[in-house]
Amino acid sequence: MTRGLSIVIPCYNTGDYVREAVASALSQPVTLDLEVIVVDDCSDDPATVAALADCRAAERVTVVQLPEHSGVQRARNAGVHAARMPYVLPLDSDDRLSTAPELLSEGTYPDRAVAILESDPAVAFVHTLTQMFGDCAGLTISAYPCRDELVARKHHVPTTIVYRRAEGIAAGLYHPDIRKWQDWAFAVALLAARFRSGAANRIGFLDGPFVEYRIHTRPNRISVSDISELAMTQLVVAANLDYFQHHHGDHCADDIARLVCRTKPPRLADLLHMAHHNLDQALALARQRDAELTSPLHELGIP
């Protein structure tokens, strides 16, 4: 298999946003081979259909057409199966990779993340910070390096992790029944599969922010959907009970799921983790949000 990375972009009626996502991927000045896999989940919005036609005409872009609307998890799975490269970077179709020259002067996120994974088999995946744009600006409050034990306690994991394709497939890829907190669920699956194999579970981190997360009010945003967090957590814990028992003790799946939901980090804990990583960034975020960590932004689904 060629040394390179596949950027997988599921798309369902995101209009012109998907053009921006693809353009940001193709604009990365990478040294490795790069392809973009756009998975059309049966979009029927005219603007999206036109944008996807442009994507089909672009070099290094493959558009996979699903036969019926199947949801973002199945779309991601189809993209990973279609990928030809050994490393994968998922990107939502309304988000972007940063193309800021000053940020990329020391290397792109794809190049640097793949270099970490190639050089250190103990690293399960690599992530970076996320910068919001659109209806809200600034870093997300989960702007700090993640660790295995934090993931087991339901700290946030972004969509845009870079991981080994073979390990993603071995972990079962993206569970179609997980309808929210999907990025965390997939990270758990990756870590749990490595745990069962006896591999170490270090998590790589690149400061950045190399990812731009769009805040908008278009319909069908998963982050504001009304879905039971406990029910989704129960699915994840039940599927990876040995991993959670390793971190939380020999309890049943339902008890661990309740514990994970009850003790997931509040925004103050996130801010303290952020301050430990970069005090200036944490102070700037607190000032930006007027130190209201349970502000109305939370109700809008802004991370």
Q: Note the pLDDT tens digit of each residue in 31-47.
A: 999 999 999 999 999 99
pLDDT of residue 1 exceeding 90: no
Bridge partners, residue 130, by sequence: 211
pLDDT tens-digit series, residues 250-264: 999 999 999 999 999
pLDDT band with cut points at 50, 70 and 90 for residue 3: confident
Whole-structure pTM over 0.75, yes or no? yes
Backbone phi and psi for residue 104, each to the nearest 5 degrees, phi listed first: -90, 5
What integer is the mean pLDDT of 171-180? 95
3-state class (DSSP) for residue 219: coil
pLDDT of residue 4 exceeding 70: yes
Tokens coding 221: 């945003």
Helix (H) or strand (E) run with residue 285 in it: helix 279-288
> Residue with structure tokens 């983790």?
273
- % of the chain exceeding 90 in pLDDT: 84
Structural domain including 135 reads 4-299
pLDDT band with cut points at 50, 70 and 90 for residue 137: confident
pLDDT of residue 297 exceeding 90: no
- Report CA dihedral (111, 114, 118, 120) to the nearest 10 degrees: 110
What integer is the mean pLDDT of 63-92? 97
Helix axes 46-57, 17-26, angle to 10 degrees: 20
Tokens coding 248: 């939380």
User: Around 206, how many Cα atoms within 13 Å sit in the side-chain half-sphere?
Assistant: 26
Predicted pLDDT of residue 217:
73
What integer is the mean pLDDT of 222-240? 87
- Lowest-confidence pick of 143-157, 206-220, 221-235: 221-235
pLDDT band with cut points at 50, 70 and 90 for residue 216: confident
Count of domains observed in the chain: 1
**DSSP 8-state secondary structure symbol assigned to residue 228:** -
CATH code for the domain in which residue 158 is found: 3.90.550.10
Instruction: List the Cα angle 219/129/15 in 5-degree steps.
Output: 25
The mean pLDDT value of the chain amounts to 93
Predicted pLDDT of residue 135:
85
Bridge partners, residue 203, by sequence: 125
AA identity, residue 41: D
pLDDT tens-digit series, residues 79-134: 999 999 999 999 999 999 999 999 999 999 999 999 999 999 999 999 999 999 98
3-state class (DSSP) for residue 61: strand
